Structure 1
Amino acid sequence: MRPFTKLVVEIIADIPKGKVMTYGQIAKIAGSPRAARQVVRILHTLTEKYQLPWQRVLNSKGCIGLPGQHGQLQRRMLEEEGIVFAENGSVHLIEYGYEPLHLMDEN
């Protein structure tokens, strides 16, 4: 596994219940700030293998990026963790955002 991929998996795996991160935030902490789409690909391909909490990753606006039933499932899962959505469907990133400080210090 490439170092960037390994770090992305570690970051996502560490997102605690009731908190969220954005694709771009994960990419930046993993050392490649312009690789948000790569984070999407990693999340899509490795979630099952590593049992990643995929529902805790949102787009830069704090919104669910998945359409239809998958997006509804993601919202339901986050609400079950205590996350409250605004009327526009976004999550308040300052309140619910996660900052893995121990990883940020290493990069």
Structure 2
Amino acid sequence: MYMLKGEKGVERFTEMVMEIIKSIPSGKVMSYGQIARVAGKPRGARQVVRILHAMSKKHKLPWHRVINSRGEIGIQDEELFFTQKSLLEGEGVQFKGKSTIDMEKYRYHPDCDEYL
């Protein structure tokens, strides 16, 4: 995997995370940790959360396609929770219960070599 060091490494990781998120097709999802691993920083899930929070609007990222590793919508805010769920359902994603997605069925597996 790509090793990140110093300021340029942080910038490169951020760019890679944004490109990975943009590549998630309609009707598919990825977890924060999965995105971090593909971007070369396996322990960077929290950084992915920060990047999504800070850059989704500006860069028009499909933020709703990113969920937690258990296949759940992790947003606590009720309005944002229902927005994310509605957007995913509009793309054909079906939920088991209130907030859980079948990761076997809906997980996107990008070609990792593309980001190295």
TM-score range relative to shorter protein: over 0.9
Partner of residue 105 from structure 1, selected from 82, 89, 113: 113
Cα-Cα RMSD: 1.2
Cα distance in 2 for partners of 1:72, 1:57 equals: 14
Cα distance in 2 for partners of 1:62, 1:50 equals: 24
Partner of 1:75: 85
SS in 2 for 1:34: coil
TM-score by length of 2: 0.87
The runs of 5 or more residues in structure 1 that have no matched partner are none
Query: CA shift at 1:105, angstroms?
Result: 2.0
SS in 1 for 2:96: coil
Partner of 1:87: 97
Partner of 2:6: none
For the pair shown, the structure with the greater C-alpha radius of gyration is 2
Question: In the comparison of the two structures, how many residue pairs are matched?
Answer: 105
What are the residue-to-residue correspondences of 1:28-107 with 2, within 5 Å? 28-67=37-76, 68-87=78-97, 89-101=99-111, 104-106=112-114, 107=116
Runs (4+) off by over 3 Å: none
Q: Does 1:9 align with 2:53?
A: no
